[in-house]
Chain A
Amino acid sequence: MELDEMKSLWQNLSVKVEKQEKIQKHILMEMTKKNYQNRLNSIYLPEIVGSVICFGYAGYFLFQIEKLELPINQVLAIFNTALMIILPMISLWTLARLNGLNITEESPLLLVEKFKKQKTFFWKFQQFNLILSGLFAVSILPPLAELLGKKDLVMEPFFWLIYVPIGLISIYIFGKMTVRKYKKSLQQAQQLIEGME
């Protein structure tokens, strides 16, 4: 097949598709609105619910800090409250950035480069997040124990031998799953860039 033939074949196709019945207004709007709703439900909703829970706990801690007698627990409570406020905010911000890729202004080449940069940013954020989560899981226990009237819990050996290791192992397993997912996502972004060559 020669180029002229390719072009004429393409033009034939164009003529055929132009003749096709126009997509119905109600189908089009239903499709668009449902897509919008699906996206909101599957991407933003879990993130928003998670953030609300974190903010709720942060509020609870804030009002309970004065009830803590041990200074170390007060410091830990402040640290954890800050984490429960800052981390969801960063998470929501990164999500907005990912969904805010400007597909109308950028050329495909620039867009894919930005796409990869953002994925790299998420990758680093998740690694950082993982370390903070480990820290959070251990540091939240002493003030929480005091608030629940079990101030001496942290003095008991089984707390450090059972609770803390179980918490850390759970975070490690969950974190590894997350990191694997982001690594794969980063590799796909790399493949996308290679596909542009």
Chain B
Amino acid sequence: MNREDEFIHLIQQNQGLIYKITTIYTRDREEQKDLYQEIVYQTWKSFDQFQKASKPSTWLYRVGMNTAITNLNRSKKRVTAVPLDGMELDFADEMESGMEERLRSLYAEIRKLGLLDRGIVFLFLEGKSHDEIAEIVGISSSNVGTRLSRIKDKLRKGLQTN
């Protein structure tokens, strides 16, 4: 498999992951599409490092989160994203309306969290262990535990009021 095919395979295998990251770090569909393209671009740009990475999944989570965080507040000076009609980014619309509504409430509550906390809860919901979360976001495992319990409280309270 050549470099281009490997890259395409990686993105295709992880397009759901990228989609979920873009959902929690953006406010609307346009921003989401721009961020999706930015993550794909950054992945391509640093793809050589991916091929040497010992843990590919950790690598992609980190690229996604770092790209999302460093691209915030750049809407005005952002390089114009490529308009692509063939790119669909609305999986939630295909869900049953009840589930879709609950999912939107969950997103809304997650978006109220700080940037790092958003990433931590995302990784938690993805089923990552405390150690894995610690490795990806760069804090200690015990700090992950403390932050997570605070985040869960915030989310629970926020979702109960909805």
For residue B102, CB closer than 8 A to chain A, the reply is yes
Within 8 A of B (CB), among A142-197: 188, 191-192, 195-197
* B12 near A22: Cβ-Cβ < 8 Å: yes
CA distance A30 to B37 in the complex (A): 11
Q: Which residues of B contact A14 (CB under 8 A)?
A: 16, 20, 126
For residue A106, CB closer than 8 A to chain B, the reply is yes
Chain B contact residues: over half helix, strand or loop, or mixed? helix
Q: Which residues of B contact A23 (CB under 8 A)?
A: 11-12, 15, 87
For residue B160, CB closer than 8 A to chain A, the reply is yes
Total interface residues in chain B, CB < 8 Å? 63
Do A30 and B125 form a contact, CB below 8 Å, given A13-B103, A103-B67, A108-B65?
Answer: no
Which of A38-46, A50-58, A73-81, A86-94 touches B? A38-46
Residue of B nearest to A197 (CB): B114
A18 CB to closest chain B CB (Å) equals 5
For residue A121, CB closer than 8 A to chain B, the reply is no
Within 8 A of A (CB), among B124-147: 125-127, 136-139
Interface residues, chain A, CB within 8 Å of chain B?
Answer: 1-3, 5-7, 9-10, 12-14, 16-18, 20, 22-25, 27-32, 34-36, 38-39, 42-43, 101-112, 115, 188, 191-192, 195-197
28 contacts between A and B (CB under 8 A): A1-B162, A3-B156, A9-B103, A10-B125, A13-B20, A14-B20, A20-B15, A22-B12, A27-B84, A29-B8, A31-B84, A35-B81, A43-B79, A102-B46, A103-B66, A103-B70, A104-B49, A104-B53, A106-B66, A107-B139, A109-B116, A111-B69, A192-B72, A192-B73, A195-B72, A195-B114, A195-B116, A197-B116
Interface residues, chain B, CB within 8 Å of chain A?
Answer: 4, 8, 11-12, 15-16, 19-20, 37-38, 40-42, 44-46, 49-50, 53, 59, 62-63, 65-67, 69-70, 72-73, 79-82, 84, 86-88, 91-92, 94-95, 99, 102-103, 105-106, 114-116, 119, 125-127, 136-139, 152, 155-156, 159-160, 162
- In order of increasing CB-CB distance, the 3 nearest A-B pairs are A107-B138, A17-B16, A103-B66
